[in-house]
Amino acid sequence: MADPVVASHLSLVLKAHPTISSPSQFLLQQHSKPMASSLNSAASLRLFASSSSSSSAAARLSLRSTSLSFSSSLKSLAFSTLSRHKRGSAVSVSSTGGFSSVASPKCAASDPDQLKSAREDIKELLKSKFCHPILVRLGWHDAGTYNKNIEEWPRRGGANGSLRFEVELKHAANAGLVNALNLLQHIKDKYSGVTYADLFQLASATAIEEAGGPKIPMKYGRVDVSRPNECPEEGRLPAAGPPSPADHLREVFYRMGLNDKEIVALSGAHTLGRSRPDRSGWGKPETKYTKDGPGAPGGQSWTVQWLKFDNSYFKDIKAKRDEDLLVLPTDAVLFEDPSFKVYAEKYAEDQETFFKDYAEAHAKLSNLGAKFNPPED
């Protein structure tokens, strides 16, 4: 028997998508073959990492799960269509980790109740998989392709869920992020009313908070891109070892509309995670801090307690006394460049200031390039 939700809203759904002649056409457009990659590790590379090799042209196929039934897919489409006509409750994450009504854009692209439930599932995932670093990196890399000089969405890049497509996952800077997508896919399947763009940013902010970091003032309602050809071109993310690290960081982050303080604050997220030479070309295969995990063992971390978010990244780079801790050229330059050094020195001494500035910078990054539904005022 046909689902009553589908039956009652089918005509509205098709009217809202004039280029789609039938429900089956929509499903064929929206669901392609899933990537047959197994989950090898929940450990992270550096949050923004790149190798020197260029990616070969990749087949464009969506990683959207095909486990959704015809009925549930139409329900999701019906919800998306109806949300354009109904303004939902304003949603943001409160300081206690729950959701509350506040003065932020009303969330129609994602269902508020499903966002709340998805956050709880992400917290359980973090407890069992110790995947905080790679989830932070996933959110950063989806948003970090933003170009402030391009107005058109989605060509401008940014937080739009494009990183779920294989063509973008195969960019050199995104090596290993298919593991993060695999970790979250069952949550996306469970909560079809949450967009990929929102899920990636929700997971990133939740990982920071659950690792002991500051509460991130997030907002939700990001719209997803729908096709692989809407992914940004390769080369928009930072490299780990450019010839002129300070110039490179400014070139990339200024293009996003970020400043020196935000560059240094965001770099402090390397207090979490490890770099794996088989993915990024940087770091040791293992150290005394990583050989036993948690999670998959190996890699080289920036800090001793690489699953704890604090200001030890700045302290350890400044001290330079432990050869088992990673310092990339883009890390070292934070204490060499005169402008960067002002903030790096401050954060090494004052964790409270670091947390405040980091939370603001992370929230700003998470919104870059996003198209919100309903639109922002």
Evaluate whether residue 97 is within a structural domain: no
Q: What is the CA angle 48-223-38, rounded to 5? A: 50
0.75 surpassed by pTM:
no
Report DSSP state, residue 308: S
357 and 336 within one domain: yes
How far apart are the C-alpha atoms of 122 and 154, rounded to whole Å?
A: 27
Whether residues 276 and 315 share a domain: the answer is: yes
**Residues designated as active site:** 141
In the chain the first and final C-alpha atoms are separated, in Å, by 43
**HEC string for 104-152:** CCECCCCCHHHHHHHHHHHHHHHHHHCCHHHHHHHHHHHHCCCCCCCCC
**Which has the closest alpha carbon to 101: 85, 112, 87, 114?**
112
198 and 281 assigned to the same domain: no
pLDDT in tens, the chain (377 residues): 444 444 444 444 444 444 444 444 444 444 444 443 333 333 344 455 443 333 333 333 333 343 433 334 333 333 333 333 333 333 444 333 333 222 233 457 999 999 999 999 999 999 999 999 999 999 999 999 999 999 999 999 999 999 999 999 999 999 999 999 999 999 999 999 999 999 999 999 999 999 999 999 999 999 999 999 999 999 999 988 899 999 999 999 999 999 999 999 999 999 999 999 887 889 999 999 999 989 889 999 999 999 999 999 999 999 988 999 999 999 999 999 999 999 999 999 999 999 999 999 999 999 999 999 988 76
Question: What DSSP line would sit under 27-79, residue for residue?
Answer: HHHH--PPP-----------SS---SSPPPP--------S-S-HHHHHHHHHH
Dihedral, 130, 134, 140, 141 alpha carbons, nearest 10: -160
Say if 218 falls within a structural domain. Answer: yes
Size (the chain), residues: 377
- Same domain flag for 230 and 119: yes
Largest distance between two CA atoms of the chain: 69
Eight-state DSSP code of residue 268: G
Residues 214 and 120 in one domain: yes
Cβ-contact 6, 71 below 8 angstroms: yes
Print the domain residue range for 321.
Answer: 245-361
User: In the chain, how many domains are there?
Assistant: 2
CATH of the domain at 249: 1.10.420.10
Same domain for 226 and 268, yes or no, is: no
Strand partners for 201: none
